[in-house]
Amino acid sequence: MSADPTILLAQTQKITPPSIEYSSLSPLLIVFVVALVGVLVDAFATRGARRVIQPVLAGGGFIAALVAVAVLHGRHAVLAKGAVAIDAPTLFMQGTILVFALLSVLLVAERQLDSSGGAIVASAAITPGSKGSTAQQTSADMQTEAYPLMVFSVTGMMLFVASNNLLVMFVALEILSLPLYLLAGLARRRRLLSQEAAMKYFLLGAFSSAFFLYGVAFAYGFAGSVELGKVADAVGAVGKNDTYLYLSLALLAVGLFFKIGAAPFHSWTPDVYQGSPTPVTAFMAAGTKVAAFGALLRVFYVAFGGLRWDWRPVLWTVAILTMVVGAVLALTQRDIKRMLAYSAVAHAGFLLVGLAGTNTDGLRGSMFYLVTYGFTTIAAFAVVSLVRTSDGEASDLSQWRGLGRTSPLLAGTFSFLLLALAGIPLTSGFTGKFAVFQAAIEGDATPLVVVALVCSAIAAFFYVRVIVLMFFSEPLAEGPVVVTRPTLTFATVGIGTVATLVLGVAPQPLLDLANTAATSGFVR
């Protein structure tokens, strides 16, 4: 009787599991474990305990992961069979994401904004406009699932910037995006607007993910692998189908341009920024941009670095369109959050200017810019959450009239942050723009810098318009109220403002850190 060939094959072939250095992946693993523990806390802890445990757990997890990132300083390796890369740029951006996530947790945990005690809805399942929906606006409860959702999203962001494999990068993209789709619909007030934002974000996000996945498929068809290093090795090889190569590059770029909010893939940005809870908006504006640009830099510098003379003109076009659309459309906005959303679009264009330099200085300038922009924008959205009416946040610009006379300290702080976004000297915004513009000039992209300077001048107009409205207009008779109780939000505003000032006056330590990371380069 003959033996079963399947049994014989199993006996002759020994499956070797991949070797994984868990210590090098510790920042990712810490955040992932914290997310899982957060789910268990929400399932088994009492309602009152959850509101205390969840923010402490999330914040503590981010701090522990940040320490792990610092311990890994200088590590340069490809792990998990080529799936994950740990190098200086990756650790720099992972640390940046964790800092911004920690500040965002402070905003989400704020209980003193109004009588309800938070920006997150008490129960997302209640139909907007119903009796229960009205009652929960003043409820002391909140949807504490927001914390593990944030932590899961941070896990995806950290994996996104570390991915050395396009398929792993797609998985990371979904891990960071799916929680954000849910978080966008958890606003306590203006529930219909929030749910509309979540739906638009989900539909357009799924559409962009499909583009990215098709790009992964074409990359595999071209190189026979989805590892970034092997794709780079296949670029320019004889006998390869270049049609697959360029289709892959185009489709991957569309998916990544969507996540950074670059035109013409920016249409989700104003609606989602406006409808989401403001702490979530701040989290998205800072964290998602770092993660998306980290992945964009890795894909363009590592996988398609050999094609830079082919993708550079396209990058120029997208950068110019993004800066013009963001700066011009921001002029027409009457909602403060929509204005900051179009400002984010314009800043994505400025970041692309640094990428267009295609040099080490461009990588350094982009990383430095991401840090400066993140601190400023989180602080700006925190200030927005403090100016309130009986219906919630005073989002209409007309409601900010005369705020500089009734609340000069808050208005002054917001003015300083707006000037930083405009790139005024002695602020981090000026230093960040100088870094990316200098890199572009050294990379023979001077015309792009000229366009960026013109768009910066246009952008300065709508920032200054808000400042003039606050300080040179009469206050409204029944104007908004500035909340003076919230300590966590004040702490966030203070940290962001101080960082904006310090990085404008004494930016050299961070520039040196970014330069060291850029000089070390990406591992492949």
Tokens of 393: 């946040």
Give the residue-averaged pLDDT of 51-73.
94
Q: Is the pLDDT of residue 271 over 50?
A: yes
pTM of the complete model: 0.94
pLDDT bin (cut points 50, 70, 90) of residue 169 is: very high
User: Looking at residue 243, what is its pLDDT?
Assistant: 87
Q: Is the pLDDT of residue 11 over 60?
A: no
Q: Is the pLDDT of residue 4 over 70?
A: no
pLDDT in tens, 92-134: 999 999 999 999 999 999 887 765 557 788 777 777 766 666 6
Amino acid at 337: K
Give the residue-averaged pLDDT of 139-157.
89
User: Looking at residue 319, what is its pLDDT?
Assistant: 94
What is residue 425's DSSP assignment?
A: T
Q: Which of 357-366, 412-421, 487-496 has the lowest mean pLDDT?
A: 357-366
Q: What percent of the chain has pLDDT over 90?
A: 64
The phi, psi pair for 224, rounded to 5°, reads: 75, 15
Residue whose C-alpha is closest to residue 318's, from 296, 294, 285, 302: 296
Q: Is the pLDDT of residue 477 over 60?
A: yes
Q: Is the pLDDT of residue 357 over 80?
A: no
User: Looking at residue 7, what is its pLDDT?
Assistant: 58
pLDDT in tens, 32-47: 999 999 999 998 988 8
Residue whose C-alpha is closest to residue 109's, from 280, 273, 276: 280
pLDDT bin (cut points 50, 70, 90) of residue 377 is: very high
Give the residue-averaged pLDDT of 353-374.
89
Q: Which residue has the tokens 């740029």?
A: 89
Q: Is the pLDDT of residue 8 over 60?
A: no
Task: Give the burial string for 269-289 (b: 16+ CB within 10 Å, else e).
Answer: bbbbbbbbbbbbbbbbbbbbb
Residue whose C-alpha is closest to residue 450's, from 353, 358, 327, 344: 353
CB 103 within 8 A of CB 378: yes
Give the residue-averaged pLDDT of 231-237.
85
Q: Which residue has the tokens 């991949």?
A: 18
Amino acid at 145: E
Give the residue-averaged pLDDT of 367-378.
96
Q: 139: number of CA atoms within 13 Å, CB side?
A: 19
Q: Is the pLDDT of residue 240 over 70?
A: no
Give the residue-averaged pLDDT of 196-209.
92
Q: What percent of the chain has pLDDT over 70?
A: 93
User: Looking at residue 2, what is its pLDDT?
Assistant: 53
Q: Which of 105-119, 155-169, 287-301, 433-447 has the lowest mean pLDDT?
A: 105-119
Q: Is the pLDDT of residue 463 over 70?
A: yes
User: Looking at residue 317, what is its pLDDT?
Assistant: 93
Average pLDDT, rounded, for the chain:
89
User: Looking at residue 6, what is its pLDDT?
Assistant: 59
Instruction: Give the integer Cα–Cα distance in Å for 455 and 324.
Output: 6
Q: Which residue has the higher pLDDT, 66 or 473?
A: 66
Q: Is the pLDDT of residue 10 over 60?
A: no
User: Looking at residue 269, what is its pLDDT?
Assistant: 93
Q: Quick one: which H or E segment has residue 97?
A: helix 88-108
Strands (E), 414-467: none
Instruction: Give the integer Cα–Cα distance in Å for 256 and 227.
Output: 17
Q: Is the pLDDT of residue 310 over 90?
A: no
Instruction: Give the integer Cα–Cα distance in Å for 363 and 514.
Output: 8
pLDDT bin (cut points 50, 70, 90) of residue 1 is: very low
CB 303 within 8 A of CB 231: yes
